[in-house]
Amino acid sequence: MTTLFQWVANRLPSASAFALAALFACLVFAVQKIGYNLYFHPLARYPGPPLAAISKLWRAYVECFQKKSTCHELRRLHASYGVYLPANNG
């Protein structure tokens, strides 16, 4: 006779199946968030860099990889795109 714990444990999905489902859910969420920010967000109609429209991580990219100041980059983007710059959709 099996215990209740064994009965429940035998019917649960494996850890790898759970990890795969969690990874798939995170991927679906990321694609949905990117699509919303690029096409359906109220600020999507204003011109601006797509990376800045997708996420706030573009600031880290500018600071760490391009070795530029975010303040100077924002000033440059405002000069290029105008007053309305959707740089913080995320």
The token pair at 37 is 């920010």
- Do 86 and 46 touch, CB atoms closer than 8 A? yes
Calculate ∠ Cα 19-24-28, nearest 5°: 150
Q: What would the mean pLDDT of 72-87 be, rounded to a whole number? A: 79
Cβ contact 77:85 at 8 Å: yes
- Tens digit of each residue's pLDDT (9 = 90 or more) over 54-63: 888 888 888 8
The C-alpha atoms of residue 4 and residue 46 are separated, in whole angstroms, by 59
Per-residue confidence (pLDDT) for residue 90, from 0 to 100: 47
The residue extents of the domains of the chain are: 15-81
Q: What's the pLDDT tens digit per position in 17-60?
A: 788 889 999 999 999 999 998 999 888 888 888 888 888 888 88
